[in-house]
Amino acid sequence: MKDKFKPESLMMSYGYKPELSEGAIKCPIFQTSTFVFKTAEEGKAFFEVAYGLRKKEQDEELGLIYSRINNPNLEILENRLSLWDKADDTAVFESGMSAISTVMLEFLKPGDLILYSSPSYGGTDHFIHDFLKRIGVSAVAFHAEDTEEEIMELIKKTGKADRLGLVYVETPANPTNAIFDIEMCNRIAAKHKNGENKSYVCVDNTYMGPVWSSPLEMGADLVVYSATKFIGGHSDLIAGAVMGNSELMTRVKTLRTFLGNMVSPHTAWLMLRSLETLKIRMDRQSQNAQLVANFLNQHDKIEKVKYLGLISENSPQYKLYKRQYNAPGAMISLYVKGGEKEAFKFLNNVKLIKLAVSLGSTESLAQHPKTMTHCALEPIEREKMGVTANLVRISIGVEDAEDIISDVSQALDTI
């Protein structure tokens, strides 16, 4: 069934057996901490597998033990999420940050180096520069305009080229929509090692996944998500996810068991519900965003609009955009003419669009990166990235496109 149907056709039923839940068509919330074993022998067998004392027999499923290790809501959710990214396995976390920090803790140790794309999500940047630095992990940043040779040189200069643990890339960059080349990151990782081990590539696919981009298919080792955004999609939960091959996911899930940062049964259940409409939500959001971006792009109060769907066919970025993405996405970076005053005027006057951080939700959201999500960045570096006082970031929702356009139009008229 898995190979015959598209993920959107399987989100209502895949991995759930009604006969195990009184015939209920929908998976109930398994709001329970622990599970009763039929016999002591069964309990012993479950633990042997859960703690890696022996490999699973063919067709043996990990038995339910305790909700920090497994729970039906969590397992069904992970099986369904794996379909989108064609991953062997998925681990769901209680936030995007806990997914990201767990990956970094598992694949980096004192003395290692992480290469990461800049700008990266503020929390990720903070974890790299504050926590990882304190435990002796070095970091080096690269930018969208850097060439492969320049990045190789940056790594060499750290003196840690033989300890590259992780190439971490967030693309498109938040909040500028600059795109990074995932295949180039794979090549850079392949030319390095971390001692005896290979250097892994991890992609934060929050902006484009799982519908518009599949980094695992492009050869990345791991994909991470803030599932708070498109996957959850209704601004009513916080969650994260990691995907990859079985070997790497066993490592991620083992660390998760001991950090205890798995998602709760209730949040997992909400996400199961979200996944049923993921494709239609994201399709609509992207269609809406293209229409809104087209409108903004010809408006005389606007200096420029950065949106994937506006990249011109003869620019060098276009090929990369087409290779990595199958739609332009729902995030628009809007530079109004003027500065903070004009940007705030716009933000204070939108009515349908809500003034809030976060993204990927059913309702459209707008915020001011310079003074909000990216306020803690070093000012010169921030200016260089294009996070200027006149930048407004808009996440487009599922509302009627003409209504969104009429809202941005009236807000621009107040400037």
Ligand X SMILES: *Cc1c(COP(=O)(O)O)cnc(C)c1O
**Number of residues in contact with ligand X, rule: CB under 6 A?**
16
CA 42 to each of CA 19, 20, 39, 61, 76: distance values in angstroms, whole numbers, following the listed order: 21, 18, 5, 12, 22
Among 123, 143, 287, 399, binds ligand X (CB under 6 A): 123
396 touches ligand X (CB under 6 A): no
CB of 224 to ligand X, least distance (A): 8
Q: Which two tokens stand for residue 12?
A: 């209502």
CB nearer to ligand X: give 97 or 167: 97
d(C-alpha 17, C-alpha 20), whole Å: 6
210 touches ligand X (CB under 6 A): no
Among 45, 238, 310, 405, binds ligand X (CB under 6 A): 238
125 touches ligand X (CB under 6 A): no
Which among 396, 375, 401 has a CA at the least distance from the CA of 387?
A: 375
CA 130 to each of CA 57, 72, 134, 138, 414: distance values in angstroms, whole numbers, following the listed order: 43, 36, 6, 11, 42
97 touches ligand X (CB under 6 A): yes
Secondary structure (3-state) at 224? strand
Q: Which two tokens stand for residue 77?
A: 């959710």
Secondary structure (3-state) at 262? strand
Among 206, 261, 274, 361, binds ligand X (CB under 6 A): 206
Chain-centre distance of CA 270, in angstroms? Answer: 18
Which among 35, 91, 97, 93 has a CA at the least distance from the CA of 66?
A: 35
CB of 404 to ligand X, least distance (A): 21
CB nearer to ligand X: give 70 or 367: 367
171 touches ligand X (CB under 6 A): no
d(C-alpha 282, C-alpha 284), whole Å: 5
Among 82, 228, 285, 290, binds ligand X (CB under 6 A): 228
Which among 259, 2, 134 has a CA at the least distance from the CA of 242?
A: 259
Among 70, 71, 95, 333, binds ligand X (CB under 6 A): 95
Among 176, 194, 226, 288, binds ligand X (CB under 6 A): 226
CB of 207 to ligand X, least distance (A): 6
When CB distances to ligand X are compared, the closest residue is 96
204 touches ligand X (CB under 6 A): yes
DSSP bridge partners of 242: 91, 224
Torsion sign over Cα 215, 264, 79, 81: negative
CB nearer to ligand X: give 206 or 324: 206
CB nearer to ligand X: give 221 or 342: 221
94 touches ligand X (CB under 6 A): no
121 touches ligand X (CB under 6 A): yes
Q: What angle (nearest 5°) sits at the alpha carbon of residue 391, between those of residues 99 and 141?
A: 45
- Dmax over CA atoms of the chain, in Å, equals 74
CB nearer to ligand X: give 64 or 141: 141
Q: Could you list the residues that contact ligand X (CB under 6 A)?
A: 95-97, 121, 123-124, 170, 174, 204, 206-207, 226, 228-229, 238, 240
